[in-house]
A = this chain, B = another copy of it.
Amino acid sequence: MERTLIDNIGKSEGKEVNIYGRALNVRELGEIVFVQVQDYSGTIQCVFEKKTEIKTGDAVEITGRAKKEERAKGGYEVHATSEKIISTSTEDLPIDLSKSELKLQLETLLNLRALSLRHPKVQAIFKLFDIVLKSYSTVMRELGFTEIKTPKLLSAASEGGADFFKVDYFEKSAYLAQSPQFYKQIMVGSFERVFEVGPVFRAEPHFTTRHVNEYISLDAEMGFIKDYKDVTRTLNDVLIKMFKIINSESKLYMETYSVKPVKVPEEIPYIKLAEAKKIIKEKYDYDVPKTTDIDPEGERLICRYAKEEFDSDFIFVTHYPWDHRPFYTMPDKENPGETYGFDLLFRGVELVTGSQRIHDYKMLIENMKKKGLKSEGMEFYLETFKFAMPPHGGWAIGCERLVQLTLGLKSVKEATLFPRDVKRLSP
């Protein structure tokens, strides 16, 4: 008998259907047994008017009649006539997947990832992740960006040298890409607008709720800009279009976390970093530590200000100091101590980093020298700027953070399928 997808059961009302899936939940109520079954298309309740051997977690095949049932979630249920256990657990499940909340410590949740991912509330996170990926590439293509895939193995730890993972590469050493920065810039010379979705690797020994050492970066780079605001405005537009898709297609997953659709303002407010620091000192009596450009508490307060002042979950912080930005960042024409580098903060956390880049060869070399950097391993990148690079800029969105902040998850690791940190390389 042909398989019926759970999502299509409505079309077979009154008819016999054959479904395959996982038993999420088995409840006995007197003579009747209710089995909640999930396949890749959806979830449905199967009703047995007899005992069944099916246990929570089993992979099953169930034959029965599709019936309308207004009290059921999807409007239908299956009155089972026969069942087959395709695969069962050889040990008791270490977690109770039938509860509505898993309530596990983060470490346990991650150690048991293969199983905790079977819980609908955990699944919801990665269904939303899927939609975020889809929305980004859909919107970027709509705006004329070409998708590129650049190498993650580099010959040199450029941009400074710290925070890179070293790789044994045949007789040589290689380094894992911290970002597709150089490559996406080069590609502006060819396609003008490019985007990439790929892993980036950061060897920073963080122990926070907002960092992992490997994550998915949603990158973009665009040419023929007039100034950095062409970049921020495009990003603003991208986010509006992305969240239109996410809010509509992730409704169910957002409801699971009792969060509202994300509102992206038509014009996200802007503030210069120096001004932002003044405001959080005056308004919230907080001093950003002198050793950083901005710290997490500072970011949280800037976002509080954006919410209070502009009713916005987003705010662009611009004009980051030259000292704290990479050598390719365009300095502010009027105030070279500052740059056309920006961050986009979302609900208290940095979500995006971007900037206008330097496109003039001489200026780039000078800026590199001022930073005390050597050109070794960057020759191919620097050389490109001898050949008519247009003014350009771009951004990198942290995909896991976007998911985390959208659902209000405590740690970015909850929004990472198999997170990597200083201590964790497995599962």
Contact = CB atoms under 8 A, between A and B. Distances in A.
Interface of A: 3, 5, 20-22, 39-41, 57-59, 86-91, 93, 113-115, 117-118, 123, 126-127, 129-130, 133-134, 137, 141, 144-156, 165-170, 172, 174, 176, 183, 186-187, 189-193, 197-199, 201, 203, 205, 213-214, 216, 223-224, 359-362, 377, 380-381, 383-384, 386-391, 399, 417-420, 422, 425-427
B146 A130 contact: yes
A151 B418 contact: yes
Contact of A114 (B126, B168, B383): B383
Contact of A133 (B91, B147, B183): B147
B90 A386 contact: yes
Contacts of A381: 114, 427
Contact of A89 (B141, B224, B388): B388
Given A123-B191, A133-B147, A153-B201, A115 B167 contact: no
Nearest to A423: B170
Given A90-B386, A114-B383, A214 B425 contact: no
Contacts of A176: 167
Contact of A57 (B113, B170, B183, B388): B388
Q: Which of A137, A151, A420 has the largest count of B CB atoms less than 10 A from its CB?
A: A151
B153 A152 contact: no
B149 A199 contact: yes
B118 A190 contact: yes
A106 B193 CA distance: 26
A245 B223 CA distance: 28
B384 A153 contact: no
B133 A387 contact: no
A44 to B, nearest CB: 14
A256 to B, nearest CB: 15
20 contacts: A22-B192, A39-B224, A40-B145, A40-B191, A57-B387, A59-B388, A59-B389, A87-B391, A88-B388, A90-B362, A114-B387, A115-B387, A123-B190, A149-B399, A151-B420, A153-B213, A156-B426, A170-B203, A187-B417, A197-B197
B390 A59 contact: yes
A37 B224 CA distance: 13
Contacts of A223: 40, 59
Given A39-B224, A115-B384, A115-B387, A146 B126 contact: yes
A172 B187 CA distance: 35
Contacts of A117: 186-187, 189-190
Interface centre among A20, A134, A193 (most CB of B within 10 A): A20
A137 B149 CA distance: 15
A22 B214 CA distance: 36
A390 B420 CA distance: 28
B150 A91 contact: no
A308 to B, nearest CB: 35
Given A59-B389, A126-B191, 19 more contacts: A40-B223, A58-B388, A59-B223, A59-B224, A86-B224, A86-B390, A86-B391, A87-B390, A88-B388, A89-B388, A91-B387, A115-B384, A129-B147, A149-B216, A151-B199, A151-B420, A153-B214, A165-B168, A186-B427
